[in-house]
């Protein structure tokens, strides 16, 4: 079996391209000369990535064999970067079925290599004692290795890079808590790795010899406790030394709830991260270097990885974030105005205002909503809604935004997800907070019949059962303050920052 290389014009299929790792791996492969095809359930999510016009995109799902057949056609290498982060009891079954379907279709299509990124497994720990998510990652790797297609399973522990869940958790815990009461796992040894080293290993694995079918432990040069990682972060970030007090009663479940309250990482995602820290996760080998030789200064030391991640955050150059992938259970139903809308109750709150500003000035305000800029109305109400969502296991309001000025389809925006964006004209957000129904928020920039700038805002809610009906009528008394104030203040901000001559006559709106 020939080894696929860029010189052969090899085609790499990348699943999970809208996620944290996948969104960064695609340009790495392109820069190496590979052709790239992305499999996505919602191809629109890839439209605004800077590399989108250099790849082929196929609509499909790793659980649907028919869609995989089209995706695998002519592919030489297949990257499996899909993970379930669900906390439901059935997620292991879902992961198992997806991996088996992917493996079978890859073999049938004649794919020459599979590359999978899994989790580093603690040595000497029986598989049944592993956390459910790490156990599932291990099983997925085994399924792919048994597929009949040469497979490289890269196993990493804590990935350090701007926007990674592990980095965000470390960053916010250290920055926000000068005194920390912590779980005992802060003294567990781990071997972190810089995201750029993970990407290098993944990209180079496409050209591994055909007889390589195995796992590789990948990590940086430092083995540290989580306590030492927080101390290093404080030092790199210029913070005072943190006081860390381990408390045995803080279980992974309790500590994940605590992390959910203190950091933007929701407890549903923090729990699998903390559960994986119950056992020491240190590389047992560095055999990957036989095929991907170490470069001077690489893999990056932990401190250098921190400095690079922090500089990216401070310079607002975070290309992907942990929130790039939709959370478990995120709705994907059609918008009520779509042709395939199935009907049912639908409640709307519509607002419009004439704005004494150019459409461009108004659009800048619209595209800048959320994150540090907030939502332009009743901040306490938005904050309370975010806290309430956190308390029931939702994502909360503090995911912020990937870029302070520019949005793209698929971006997380606090507890919303960018579903559609027509730059300069329309922004549509879909709610990802816990709700008894489906919700959207649309913001549009238009011109009226007289050529004046107009702002149109529409909130839509499709209730689910009696609870959904009760929810809508329970919050509707606040709409005038929340949604009315939002429309009014967005218009005022646009007038203040870019008003004059192209919008409404003075005093209007």
Please write the tens of the pLDDT for every residue from 264-306: 676 666 776 777 777 889 999 999 999 999 999 999 999 999 9
**pLDDT greater than 90 at residue 414:** no
What pLDDT is attached to residue 403? 84
What is the spatial distance between Cα 18 and Cα 81, in angstroms, rounded to a whole number?
10
pLDDT digits (tens, 9 = 90+) for 451-487: 899 999 999 888 887 888 888 888 888 888 899 999 9
What is the spatial distance between Cα 174 and Cα 241, in angstroms, rounded to a whole number?
10
pLDDT tier at 316, thresholds 50, 70, 90: low
What pLDDT is attached to residue 325? 57
Tell me which of 95-104, 210-219, 325-334 is least confident.
325-334
Q: What Rg, from alpha-carbon coordinates, does the chain have?
A: 24
What is the spatial distance between Cα 341 and Cα 88, in angstroms, rounded to a whole number?
28
89 token code pair: 């009891």
What is the spatial distance between Cα 168 and Cα 160, in angstroms, rounded to a whole number?
9
The stretches of 359-478 forming alpha helices (DSSP H) are 359-367, 379-391, 465-475
The mean pLDDT of 315-319, rounded to a whole number, is 70
Higher-pLDDT residue of 309, 278? 309
The mean pLDDT of 221-231, rounded to a whole number, is 92
**pLDDT greater than 90 at residue 256:** no
pLDDT tier at 249, thresholds 50, 70, 90: low
pLDDT tier at 341, thresholds 50, 70, 90: very low
Higher-pLDDT residue of 207, 85? 207
491 token code pair: 């218009």
**pLDDT greater than 70 at residue 440:** yes
Within the chain, how many helices (H) and strands (E) appear? Answer: 14, 19
What pLDDT is attached to residue 100? 95
What is the spatial distance between Cα 328 and Cα 41, in angstroms, rounded to a whole number?
14
What is the spatial distance between Cα 199 and Cα 205, in angstroms, rounded to a whole number?
10
Query: pTM, whole model, 2 decimals?
Result: 0.72
What backbone torsions phi and psi does residue 367 show, to the nearest 5 degrees?
-70, -15
What pLDDT is attached to residue 372? 84
């Amino acid at each position: 079996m020939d080894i696929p290389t860029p010189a052969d014009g090899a085609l790499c299929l990348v699943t999970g391209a809208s996620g944290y790792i996948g969104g960064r791996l695609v340009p790495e492969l392109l820069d190496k000369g590979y052709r790239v095809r992305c499999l996505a359930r919602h191809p629109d999510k890839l439209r605004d990535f800077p590399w989108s016009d250099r790849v082929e995109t196929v609509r499909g799902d790793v659980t649907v064999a028919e869609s995989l057949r089209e995706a695998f056609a002519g592919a030489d290498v297949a990257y499996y970067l899909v993970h379930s982060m669900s906390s439901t009891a059935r997620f292991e079954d879902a992961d198992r079925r997806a991996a088996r379907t992917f493996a079978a279709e890859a073999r049938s299509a004649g794919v020459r290599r599979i590359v999978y990124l899994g989790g580093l497994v603690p040595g000497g720990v029986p598989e049944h004692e592993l956390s459910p998510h790490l156990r599932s990652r291990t099983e997925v790797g085994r399924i792919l290795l048994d597929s009949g297609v040469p497979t490289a399973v890269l196993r990493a522990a804590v990935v350090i890079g701007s926007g990674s869940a592990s980095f965000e958790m470390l960053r916010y815990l250290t920055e926000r808590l000068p005194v920390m009461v912590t779980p005992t796992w802060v003294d567990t040894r781990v071997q972190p790795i810089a995201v750029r080293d993970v990407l290098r290993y993944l990209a180079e694995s496409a050209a591994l010899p055909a007889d390589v079918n195995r796992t590789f432990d990948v990590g940086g040069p430092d083995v540290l406790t989580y306590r030492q990682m927080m101390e290093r972060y404080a030092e790199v970030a210029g913070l005072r030394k943190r006081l860390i007090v381990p408390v045995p009663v803080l279980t992974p479940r309790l500590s994940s709830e605590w992390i959910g309250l203190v950091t933007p990482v929701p407890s549903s995602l923090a729990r699998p991260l903390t559960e994986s820290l119950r056992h020491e996760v240190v590389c047992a080998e560095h055999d990957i270097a036989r095929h991907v030789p170490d470069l001077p200064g690489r893999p990056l030391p932990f401190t250098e990885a921190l400095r690079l991640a922090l500089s990216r955050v401070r310079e607002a150059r975070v290309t992907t974030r942990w929130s790039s992938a939709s959370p478990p259970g995120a709705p994907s139903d059609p918008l009520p105005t779509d042709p395939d809308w199935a009907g049912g109750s639908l409640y709307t709150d519509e607002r419009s205002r004439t704005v004494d500003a150019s459409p461009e000035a108004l659009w800048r305000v619209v595209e800048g909503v959320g994150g540090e800029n907030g939502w332009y109305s009743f901040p306490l109400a938005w904050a309370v809604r975010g806290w309430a969502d956190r308390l029931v296991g939702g994502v909360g309001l503090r995911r912020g935004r990937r870029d302070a000025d520019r949005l793209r389809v698929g971006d997380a925006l606090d507890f919303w997800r960018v579903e559609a964006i027509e730059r300069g004209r329309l922004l549509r957000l879909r709610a990802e907070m816990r709700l008894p129904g489906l919700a959207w928020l649309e913001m549009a920039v238009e011109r009226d019949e007289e050529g004046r700038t107009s702002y149109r805002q529409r909130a839509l809610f499709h209730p689910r059962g009696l609870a959904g009906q009760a929810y809508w009528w329970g919050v509707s008394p606040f709409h005038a303050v929340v949604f009315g104030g939002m429309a009014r203040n967005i218009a005022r901000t646009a007038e203040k920052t870019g008003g004059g001559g192209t919008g409404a006559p003075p005093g209007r709106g």
